[in-house]
A and B are shown apart, each in its own frame.
Chain A
Amino acid sequence: MNDCSILIICCEKMKETVERASLENSAVLALPCLGRIDEAVILRAFRKGADAVIVAGCVEGNCKYNSGNYQARRCVNEVRDILEEIGISGERLEILNLSPNQAVDLVNLFENMKEVVLRLGHPDILGAER
C-alpha cells in the first residue's frame, strides 16, 4: 500500500517548518493558531480519506496566544475517543509539540505514523472519499 495519505494540521508559526520538511504523501493545513482546531476539522479529514492526522503545535507554554496548544491537546484526546468509539484506531491521530528548529521530531513521528498506517491499512469509514 503506497497511497497512504497523512494530514498535518499546524499553526501559522509552524507552517514553514512543516513545509520545509517536505514529507511525501502528506498535506498541510495551516490555521492561525491551534486554538481554532475543533473536533469537526479532524473528523472531516478522516471522512475525506486521510489515513492519519498529525497535529503539530508549538512547545507548551510557548503559544503566542497562550493556550492554543493545550486546547489542541484536549481536542485531540476527545477525537481519539470518538475514533475508538466508531471503530477506528486512536493510533491514527497524534499531537506533537514541535519547536521550529526540530523538524526531526516531526519526521520521526511521520515515519512512525506511516508504519501504523501500513500496519492498519485504510480506515474503514463508510462513505469515505478516497
Chain B
Amino acid sequence: MILIVGGGKSSEIAAEEVIRQGAVPLRLVLPEETFSFLPDVETVKGRLLSFTGVQGNFQAEIEIDREVKKFNVGAAVIAVDETPKVSDTDCITLSSILENNYLKCSGTIVILLDAKKPSRASHIVAVEKAIEIKDNNPDCRIYIITPEVRTFGLDELEYCKAQKKGIIFIRAEDIKHSSGKMKVTDSPSGKVLDITPDLVITDEEQEVKNAALWAKAFSINLYEDGHFRLGNVSRGPVTSMRNGVFLCGTASRALLPREMDTSARAAATRAVTASQTPLMLNSAEVDEEKCASCMTCVRVCLFHAPSINEKGKSEICRDLCQSCGLCVNLCPASAISFKGVSRIELRNAVDDVLRCLHE
C-alpha cells in the first residue's frame, strides 16, 4: 500500500499512477481540507500521528474521527500542492478570473505580476487571459506590469502574440498603487508612467498549507520558503531526505501544470518500486555511559534520528538513521559508534590498506 498525502491535483495523478502500476493507494487528507473524489481510491480524512519503520515497511498511525488506526504502507508520496494564500487586499486575483471568466472588461486593465512567491504558471495564465480579453473587446487597453516576463519554452510565442495584439508589457520594479492611480517606473528607460486603471488584477502568493505539520509527522525538512526539502541530487528526482518518502507536484517547488503531472507520476513510480525493495540500514548506537548529553548529535543529524530520551541521554532512532557516520565523528564524548566504522575498526582499516600497499 502506498500512502499519498494531499487532496490536490497531483495526488489524483499519483494515485492513478499507483493503481496503473498495480499497487494500492491510500489517500490521506486533513479533516478540514477539500479534495476531489476518486472512485477507485480509498481516501481517509485524518491526521498522521506517527510514521515509523523503514522503506518497504512503514507503519502509519492515523487518527480518524478520534480513533487511531494503524496502516502498513510500503512508501509514501507527499502530494500537498501549493494553494493561493488568502490575500488581504480586495484586488481581483488571477485565480478568481480563471474561475469566473471575467471577460467582459473594458477601459484600462492592469495585470500586476509582482507576488513574491508566485505560482510558476501565473505569467503564462496572465498572458493567455490578456489575449482572451483583448479578443473579446479590442477597445480596452491592457497593461501587464512585472519585473520580468516569465513565459517559458513555447509559451514565448503567446507572449509574442500578446505584444502583436497591442498588449503593453511594462517591466518595472518600482510600482506605487494608491487610490485608483498607479505610478510605475519603467526599469529599462527609467521613465515614470502614470496609469489610471479601471481594473487591477494581481497574482497571488502561493503557499504549501500545513507543510510544517506534515514535515514533522514524516520527520523530513522544509526549505525556508515553506516548501518541502528535496533530497540531494544523488538521491535522484522527487525524493525527500528520508528513504521511501517521495515528494511530488508543487510540494517542493513551483512547477508548471504539465511538470506537475510528470513529477506526480515519477513519485508514484518510485514509491511503488521502493515499497518492493525494503531497506535495512545499519544504525549508529549510543553508549549511554559515555554520553554527555551535549546535543551535538541531535543538532547535526539531518534525518532527525538522535533525540534525548527520558534518561537524559541521546538515543538514535533505528528507523531514521541512515548510518552516514557524521555524529560518530562529531560526538565529543566518543559515545556513538556503528558497526563497520567504529574508531578501532577504522584505525585497523587504515593500517590494513597501507600494509598491503607497502608489501
Contact = CB atoms under 8 A, between A and B. Distances in A.
Contact of A36 (B235, B325, B351, B356): B325
Contacts of B343: 40
A45 B322 CA distance: 27
Given A27-B357, A44-B350, A36 B326 contact: yes
A5 B302 contact: no
B294 to A, nearest CB: 17
Contacts of A71: 326, 329-330
Given A27-B356, A29-B353, A62-B233, A40 B325 contact: no
Contacts of A61: 232-233
Contact of A5 (B235, B300, B329, B357): B357
A107 to B, nearest CB: 18
Interface in A24-45: 25-29, 31-33, 35-38, 40-41, 44-45
Nearest to B341: A36
A66 interface: yes
A81 to B, nearest CB: 18
B351 A48 contact: yes
Given A25-B357, A27-B356, A35-B326, A45 B350 contact: yes
A10 to B, nearest CB: 12
B347 A40 contact: yes
A68 B326 contact: yes
Contact of A65 (B302, B341, B354): B302
Nearest to B221: A66
Interface residues of B, number: 29
B349 interface: yes
Nearest to A26: B357
Interface residues of A, number: 34
A49 B351 CA distance: 9
Nearest to B343: A40
A106 interface: no
B157 interface: no
Interface in B314-359: 322-326, 328-330, 340-341, 343, 346-347, 349-351, 353-358
Nearest to A53: B350
A41 B325 CA distance: 13
B309 interface: no
B326 A67 contact: yes
A25 B354 CA distance: 10
A36 B354 contact: no
A93 interface: no
B302 A66 contact: yes
* Residue among B323, B349, B358 with most chain A CB within 10 A: B358
B162 interface: no
A130 B359 CA distance: 9
A43 to B, nearest CB: 10
B325 A31 contact: yes
Nearest to A71: B326
Contacts of A44: 347, 350-351
A64 interface: yes
The list of the 8 closest CB pairs from A to B, nearest first, reads: A36-B325, A65-B324, A35-B326, A27-B353, A27-B357, A33-B324, A48-B354, A38-B329
Interface of B: 232-235, 241, 300, 302, 322-326, 328-330, 340-341, 343, 346-347, 349-351, 353-358
Given A40-B343, A49-B358, 15 more contacts: A5-B358, A27-B354, A28-B353, A31-B341, A32-B325, A35-B324, A37-B329, A44-B351, A48-B350, A58-B234, A61-B233, A63-B234, A64-B232, A65-B302, A130-B358
